């Protein structure tokens, strides 16, 4: 099914001055939502002090990356003004960058937020629109050396869960990635800067999400590190009939299946759980004992 003739990215992900080895074991991306309305932890870490403390805790638990966002992208969420998004994220990034050795990811759809976040110390751009919402975002990505996460989303957060449809969800997402990666290659973006995320919960029904997790292996033909973010998502709630705060076991099951199919970056709220799970699941997948470092 491969339709990318270019050389594969290999086992190292270039994120600014950081070089992350995802071949040995999956990388853990800890989530820091600096928002009042995110679906599972909105308001818990809003504010500079709370945000920094939580980020340090995630790092101490073993996160390889801290993903910081100032705009909720939950279904139905409204766009946040640029000034407000910057007010939420920049003070935390500026204070956090000198304190930790792991890369900081900025979760944003806005090129100006990404630009100022990179200047403040971030080294990854995680765009839930796959670099298609803001026309300046791709130019920013192409002009720098930051790591890039191309996520697939159908529509915008305000409307994405309004009866999403696909001809074939796996093939449609694959073609989308192929298009965006070809675009990146045309702009001379190195493949070793790019990771892909099929966007579980972003313009997908519960059945679509289950299909994605069951068929993650199909995305490996792209030759890029695969990020998955099932943490506390609504499809787990639909299966368990539980609220977001009680979906830890369901998240663990989804993560284990993702790792066994070769997912290399796990975006999670519970870092310690994901770290332990990743070692066991990766050990089973490779039939060998895996160490963290």
| 62: alpha, beta or left? (left if phi > 0; alpha if psi -120 to 50) | left
Residue (of 107, 94, 39) closest to 67 by Cα position = 107
Token pair belonging to 12: 């190292």
Residue 204 to residue 210: CA distance in whole angstroms: 10
Catalytic residue flag (residue 267): yes
Token pair belonging to 187: 């702009």
Q: Which entry of 25, 74, 233, 275 is annotated as an active-site residue?
A: 233
Residue 107 to residue 125: CA distance in whole angstroms: 6
Token pair belonging to 198: 């099929």
Residue (of 25, 22, 19, 33) closest to 103 by Cα position = 19
Q: Which entry of 110, 154, 204, 267 is annotated as an active-site residue?
A: 267
Residue 127 backbone phi and psi in degrees, to 5: -105, 115
The catalytic residue positions are 233, 267
């Amino acid at each position: 099914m491969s339709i990318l003739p270019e050389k594969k990215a290999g086992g190292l992900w270039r994120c600014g001055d950081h070089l992350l080895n995802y071949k040995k074991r999956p990388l853990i991306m800890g989530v820091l939502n600096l928002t009042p309305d995110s679906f599972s932890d909105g308001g818990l870490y809003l504010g500079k002090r709370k945000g920094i403390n939580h980020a340090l805790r995630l790092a101490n638990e073993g996160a390889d990356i801290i993903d910081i966002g100032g705009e909720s992208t939950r279904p139905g969420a409204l766009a946040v003004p640029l000034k407000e998004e910057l007010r939420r994220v920049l003070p935390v990034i500026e204070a956090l960058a000198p304190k930790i050795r792991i890369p900081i990811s900025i979760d944003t759809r806005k090129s100006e937020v990404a630009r100022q976040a990179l200047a403040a110390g971030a080294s990854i751009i995680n765009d839930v629109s796959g670099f298609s919402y803001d026309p300046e975002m791709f130019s920013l990505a192409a002009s720098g050396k930051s790591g890039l996460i191309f996520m697939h989303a159908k529509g915008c957060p305000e409307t994405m869960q309004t009866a999403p449809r696909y001809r074939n969800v796996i093939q449609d997402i694959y073609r989308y990635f192929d298009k965006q990666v070809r675009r990146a290659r045309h702009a001379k973006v190195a493949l070793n800067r790019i990771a892909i995320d099929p966007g579980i919960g972003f313009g997908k029904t519960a059945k679509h999400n289950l299909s994605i997790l069951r068929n993650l292996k199909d995305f490996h033909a792209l030759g890029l590190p695969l990020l998955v973010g099932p943490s506390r998502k609504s499809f787990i709630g639909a299966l368990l009939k539980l609220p977001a705060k009680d979906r830890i076991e369901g998240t663990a099951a989804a993560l284990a299946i993702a790792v066994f199919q070769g997912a290399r970056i796990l975006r999670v709220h519970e870092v310690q759980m994901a770290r332990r799970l990743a070692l066991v699941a990766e050990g089973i997948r490779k039939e060998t004992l895996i160490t963290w470092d």
